[in-house]
Structure formats: structure tokens, C-alpha cells
Structure 1
Amino acid sequence: MTSNTEMGVIGLGTIGGNLSKQAVKNGIRIVGKKHSRDKPELREKGVELVEEYDAFVNELAQPRVIYVSVPAGDIVDAVPDELGPRLDDGDVVMDGGNSFFRDSIRRAAELDGQGIHFLDCGTSGGSEGARHGACFMVGGDKEGVEIAEPILEELSVDGGYVHTGASGSGHFVKLVHNGIEFGMLQAIGEGVELLEDSDFEIELDEVFHNWSNGSVIRGWLVELMEQQLREQEFKDIPNYVEDTGEVNWLVQEAIKSETPIPVISQSVMELFKSREGQDNAYRAIALMRHGFGDHPFGSDESIAEERRTSRVENRSRMQLEEEVDDGNTR
């Protein structure tokens, strides 16, 4: 069996689990690395589950293609540390999480020294995308991409796969994507604030249904807003918006490179304000984020911890350029 028809998955949560289900449905054999807790719903769908790394690697034919779906941070370094000694030249490891792109550049260089291809695979589309067709933005060397590409094309929607270029570019493109997402969420939330504070008795779900059909601003976020308004009691939604901190990195990068991004920067500031008791705009953003990514309503300590720990590499572009000039790159 070739890598075109099988894949290993480490991290069987919302994204990894749903990608596994989609893959099996599409005829791709999936070997999943589970922890102590079993995943009977995945077994029922045909996902082969193992608990030990040795068994996981031995079940996959060379060149192995492995998709890692774990929270950004030190845990992403821990996975290659465990896998590296067990893999062979030409195997491919893809980080499908929201890792900081400079961390991905470093990881690619480290694994390249072991003959292993490391791809930074920005993944969008939420749980539904993972289940029925995701959007992949993939950075990495051409040889590794060509090995993984048939699987990525099979698991993406039409037009939803792109090789963005060198290592780090996939996660950088996904980071910019998330910044744009923040700006769009903020604009929609402010529109809800205006509608709710008006002198009119406006049915929000009807307005968003209207906007989803032929308007200039129609799109998935507007559709999600309508859907969530019909499923949730708007006034009961906590106006606290949680996040894992990736767009903060983008704002920091923009400051370092003196690239003006006022809308995205302000959307981050507004998100901070939501934690101080703001009103309807943040309920609206919380609704849409829950719709596309199952993000929680209200504060969540595990996500707050990820926000604090997920960025490992913390050097700026200018620092890296200085190190290159000085010959001190690692």
C-alpha cells in the first residue's frame, strides 16, 4: 500500500478525528495514534487505532505520510522527538495545527537533517470542513509536498489546496487568514450592535438570512450567524470572546516589519475589550466562532493556556536577518 492511499494521524480531536472519518469514507486507510482513552466512534468508521508509537509507525508503508493535529506549542516539538528515531528517509510529517510559522521553519530544518520532510499545513474550514472537505495551505519542500499532495487534494474541497512555497509559508498564510477572519468577525459584530441598538424591532435571523442571499456581504460567516441565531438564544450568549492568541502574533509581526494593519490590529483590541463586559458585538462574534470551530462560549482555561504557551520560536524577522548576516543561524 502506498502513501497515496494511507495516512497516519496523531491527534484525534475535532479536526484530526473528522479528517480521519472523511479519509476513510474516501478510501484512504487511516492509522490513528490514540492516547489511553479509546475512540469507539472512530473505530466504527473504520479508523485503525494504536496506542504505541512503534506500532503506529510499523503500520504505515514508506514513504509514510503523518498528519499531526495537536495544539500549537511545545507538544508539536514533542511529536517529532518521539517519531524521528522511528521514521525513515523520505517520510513526511505535516503539522496541521496553528503553529507559529517561525517555529515551523525551525522544525523543518531540524527534521530535514534527519531526512524527513516537515510540512506546515495550515488547515481551515472548521469541523465541518474536516469532515466534508477542508482548506489546506501547505508550506514545505517540493519533494515532501509531492508525496502528501494526493491525500491533501482528496481531503480538500475543490480549489481548497495550495502549496504556498517554502517551509513556514503555509502557517504564515494561515496566520494572515486568521487575521482577516478577525477583521470580518468584528465588522459583522459591530453591525449586530447597530441593529440591536436601533429604534426598530429587527429580527436578526431574518436579516442575516436576507444578507446570505445576493447581498455584497454574503458569505459563510454571515450564513453561520443566521444558523447560530436560529439555534441559540442570542441574549444568553456570554459576551466574552476566547481565543488562542495567533492573531496577536500577526500584529507583532506587522509592528516589527512596520506593515500597517489597522483593521486586524483593532479587531484584536476589541476582542480584549470583550473580556471587560462589552455587549452584543461580542455575543455575535462568539456565536460565529462557535459555528465554524466549536469554540466555547465564555472563558476556557485550556484555551487561555494554549494562548500563553503555543508560540515557541520568538525571534523577529529582523533578528533572523541579523543572525544570517553574522553567520549565527542554527
Structure 2
Amino acid sequence: MSEQERTLGIVGLGSIGGNLARQAVRKDIDVVGFDVKERPELEDLGVDVHEAGDYEEVGELDAPRVVYLSLPAGELIDSEIDGLLDHLEEGDVIMDGGNSFWRDSMRREEACWEEGVYFLDTGTSGGPPRAAEGACFMVGGREEGFAIAEPYLDALSVEDGLIHVGPPGSGHFTKLVHNGIEFGMLQAIAEGVELLMAGQFDMEDTLPDLFETWNNGAVIESWLVELMGKGLRQEDQQSDAPDDFTDIPNYIEDTGEVNWLVQEAFKGETPIPVITQSVMELFKSRGNQRHAYRAVALMRHGFGLHPFGEDEYFANERVTGRVENVSRNKLRNDESTMDTVHSTRTGEYPADPDEDWPDHTT
């Protein structure tokens, strides 16, 4: 990267943009930053911080200018692009590093290109920790624009963590698919924790070491497994993290991007059951269903006189209704049991003459 190319504009100096700025400064890239808040900690590192919207300073950057947006998806992106275009020239580059809808990115690219400005939808992964050390970028947009921004992205990415995936929109589309995969993986790991905690073995104290073991050579070795183990050991946690795993609120927030992916899958009749179900499970964590389970209970009572609410008999049968593998082995080895199988299939249950049993044939 030549001296003329060593200044990067960053709009939005929060957890991602701020850490990218820190990393850039360490790598001798001058940063002119813009934010709605004062950022003295960044100024102390050498970042030239200005108030958001004060884009006259952008015009002072050496051409071709490269500006990275680290902002929430939505109309804010459009308004900031409009403000930047007043101070950019033909051949300059705007990168949107947020989780914008890829069709919005296609529209924004057309608007920027009318002014001769390149727009790159720059899917950015790794969260704040990787932004500070080396992020992962998947970039969509015109090849000429990518060539201008590539030296900056290459410097700020982890090794082999940069790819130009295709035309405008493709960067944010691939980032969205990435987020969908992430949701599925999170759900699978969470269900594993549920199984381990609910099983017959006392695993609570073993879980942290188990996840550390899994992250050393196991097939499911991954950063998410590593984070699960660290979280259970209370390592590298933020100050607001609960002290105990059971104190974590059973409520999951998100910004809704993966919903767009599920909607797109429905439109294209593309089956993505794992990702879709992971989104549904997230919804369920928020307790939005106030009436659905009541409706199920009402119908089950109607066709089978199943109880409303908790019932001691049914709770006991959930535990005692299966006799491990005794029935399977007996059916396999004893032909005389076929009469029992027939009677069971036709609903002829043996009954205690002194007790009415609930009808389970429905």
C-alpha cells in the first residue's frame, strides 16, 4: 500500500468500527473516523475523530478515497451515503460493512454508480474480537472498486479471510447465508447442552472441560464450541455477564436478518429446515405465543380427554412408559409375543379392574 493510499475513512466507531480503527492504526493506516459520540479512547490512539455527518473531512482524503460504513442496517445507511456522495468524487469507494439486506445493497450500488462512486457490500464476520485482530470479509461489487479497497481489507483481515464473491449484492447475501448457518450451529450446540444437563449423569461441573475437549480435535471443533466452554468457565466475559449459567435470561434477542433468509427460501421453495427451525426456537424464547399452547391443550382434551395443565399420572407415565430395551429384545427373540403385539395395535390394553386408565389410543 503506497503512502497515498494509507488513509481510511470509517463511519461508525462502535464495537466493530472502533476495533477496525484500532487495528488499522496499529498497522500504520491513518483513520479518519465519524461517530455520534465522542471517542477519546480512539483519539488517544491516533484516530482523527469527527462528528457524524461532518463529511467535509472526507473530501480532504487522498483520492481514490475509501470509506467503510459500520452502521445498523436500514434507512440510516441511505442517509449517510447521501451525505458522503456530496464530498466524494468519481473513482472513490464506499463500503457497507453492516448486515444490510442484499437487495438494498444492489439499489445503493446503482445510486452510487450514477455518481461514478463504487459501492461494495462488505459482509463482515468475526464480531468485535476479530475486528480488533483480523476480521473476515466477503465482498460484492464491481471488480474495479474491489481492487481499490482490497489493500485496506487485506490488511484488516485474518489470513485467507478476504474474498470478492461477485457482483453487487453478493457480499451481503453470502454474509446472510453465513448468519443462517451460524443460527443452526448455535441451536445444535444449545440442544446438546440441554441434553447434557437433562441426562442421567451429573454433568454441570464437567461441561466446561467437556467443551474444551471437544474443541481439541473433535469433529465439532469450532470457535462457537470454544466460546461455549469459555462462557461456562467465565473466561473473557464482559462485565455485564451473569455470574452463573442459570442466571442468564432465557430470552434471545437478534436484529432479524436471518428472517430475511427464511423468507427468501420460502419464495424460492428452497428447503432450509435447520435454519428455519433455529429462527422459530429464537422466537419461542421470547414467550410470544400466549394462546397456541392453550389451543393445543383444548384440542387434545377434545379428542382424547387429555388433562389441562400438569397431571401426576401423565408425568409418571412419561418416566415409566418405556421399559428400556426389554420389549425390543423380547419381540426379536420370542415369537409368542406376536399375539401381544396384535392386541396392542388394535387398542386392546390390559386394564386394572380397580382403576380407570386414560384412553391413549387417539
| TM-score clears 0.5 | yes
- Does the 8 Å CA contact 2:180/2:261 hold for their aligned counterparts? yes
- Does the 8 Å CA contact 2:55/2:83 hold for their aligned counterparts? no
Aligned to 1:146: 147
The offset of 1:33, in angstroms, is 1.1
The offset of 1:134, in angstroms, is 0.1
Q: Is 1:127 matched with 2:128?
A: yes
SS at match of 1:258: coil
The offset of 1:98, in angstroms, is 0.1
SS at match of 2:159: strand
Aligned to 2:197: 196
- Does the 8 Å CA contact 2:56/2:87 hold for their aligned counterparts? no
The one of 212, 236, 257 equivalent to 2:247 is 236
The offset of 1:55, in angstroms, is 3.3
Aligned to 2:227: 224
SS at match of 2:10: strand
Report the RMSD for the aligned CA atoms in angstroms: 1.4
The offset of 1:190, in angstroms, is 0.2
For residues 276-291 of structure 1, the aligned pairs below 5 Å read: 276=287
Aligned to 1:272: 283
Paired residue type of 1:92: V
The offset of 1:239, in angstroms, is 1.0
- Does the 8 Å CA contact 1:2/1:62 hold for their aligned counterparts? no
The offset of 1:6, in angstroms, is 1.4
The offset of 1:277, in angstroms, is 9.1
Larger radius of gyration: 2
- Does the 8 Å CA contact 2:8/2:65 hold for their aligned counterparts? yes
Paired residue type of 1:47: V
Aligned to 1:103: 104
Unaligned runs of 5+ in 2: 235-242, 290-362
- Does the 8 Å CA contact 1:31/1:59 hold for their aligned counterparts? no
Give the whole-Å Cα distance in 2 for the aligned partners of 1:185 and 1:86: 42
- Does the 8 Å CA contact 1:32/1:56 hold for their aligned counterparts? no
Aligned to 1:47: 47
The one of 206, 212, 218 equivalent to 1:209 is 212
Give the whole-Å Cα distance in 1 for the aligned partners of 2:29 and 2:182: 31
Unaligned runs of 5+ in 1: 279-330
SS at match of 2:62: coil
* TM-score when normalising by structure 2: 0.75
The one of 243, 263, 266 equivalent to 1:255 is 266
Give the whole-Å Cα distance in 1 for the aligned partners of 2:65 and 2:4: 6
Aligned to 1:164: 165
Give the whole-Å Cα distance in 1 for the aligned partners of 2:35 and 2:99: 20
Give the whole-Å Cα distance in 2 for the aligned partners of 1:42 and 1:223: 29
Sort the Cα spacing of 1:3 and 1:133 in 2 relative to 1 into closer, same or farther, 3 A.
farther
* TM-score when normalising by structure 1: 0.82
Aligned residues: 277
Q: Is 1:94 matched with 2:127?
A: no
Sort the Cα spacing of 1:277 and 1:102 in 2 relative to 1 into closer, same or farther, 3 A.
closer
Give CA deviations for 1:9-42 in whole Å, capped at 9, x if unaligned: 000000000000000000111000122x310110
Q: Could you say which structure has the higher helix fraction?
A: 1
Give CA deviations for 1:107-149 in whole Å, capped at 9, x if unaligned: 0001100100000000000101100000000000011100000
